[in-house]
């Protein structure tokens, strides 16, 4: 099973992001694999191919960590091309966590899963929502195109982490939720609940 932990979005927010994807498709109709509306999320930690026998251990481990962390908020910044418009690879919305709660949770989840045999992340958490993977498009006038996007100014209340199973198909991945892990709303770590 191919698994990843993520912050999922409400359907209304996914619909707003999908409207901007449709705008982008009008400017760049080919060469980009756009993310399906129902698959929009913030990847928290990619676990890779996992043996089903350790699923209960993962559930228990992640639940122990999330129970010690308060819910938090993340906000959208601008859509951008990564790494840059000269060598475009991804289009994503950068996201921000004012309290650094997401980074602390990420560190603790990463450490706990390392004890189960998963690789430690080499990079710190970079909150973002990928909306497109660029295959062969070059010379994108991103400044012009991005000025036509509708603003996404949502603040997302993160009350849980979601463990997704990803089934790869020729038409794109199909995600299914295996389990959600509630963050502890009664904890108060610096007022970020």
Contact predicate 169/37, CB 8 Å = no
Taking the C-alpha atoms of residue 117 and residue 72, their distance in angstroms, rounded to an integer, is 28
Six token digits for residue 63: 């639940």
2-8, strands of its sheet edge to edge:
41-49, 2-8, 160-167, 174-182
CA 168 to chain CA centroid, Å, is: 17
Six token digits for residue 104: 């602390």
N- to C-terminal Cα separation, the chain: 33
Helices (H), the chain: 11-27, 55-66, 101-114, 142-146
By annotation, the residues acting in catalysis are: 41, 128
Taking the C-alpha atoms of residue 145 and residue 137, their distance in angstroms, rounded to an integer, is 14
């Amino acid at each position: 099973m191919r698994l990843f932990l993520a912050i999922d979005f409400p359907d209304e927010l996914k619909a707003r992001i999908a409207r901007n994807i449709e705008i982008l498709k009008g400017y760049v109709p080919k060469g980009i694999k756009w993310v399906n509306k129902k698959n929009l999320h913030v990847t928290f930690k990619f676990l890779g191919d996992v043996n089903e026998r350790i699923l209960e251990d993962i559930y228990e481990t992640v639940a122990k960590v999330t129970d010690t962390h308060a819910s938090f908020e993340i906000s959208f910044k601008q859509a951008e091309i990564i790494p840059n418009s000269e060598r475009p690879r991804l289009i994503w919305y950068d996201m921000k966590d004012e309290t650094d709660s997401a980074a602390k949770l990420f560190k603790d989840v990463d450490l706990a899963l390392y004890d189960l045999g998963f690789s430690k992340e080499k990079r710190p958490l970079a909150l973002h929502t990928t909306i497109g993977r660029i295959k062969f498009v070059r010379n994108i006038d991103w400044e012009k195109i991005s000025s036509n996007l509708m603003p996404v100014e949502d603040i997302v209340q993160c009350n849980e982490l979601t463990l997704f199973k990803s089934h790869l198909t020729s038409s794109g991945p199909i995600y299914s939720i295996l389990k959600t892990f509630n963050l502890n709303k009664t904890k108060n770590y610096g007022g970020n609940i």
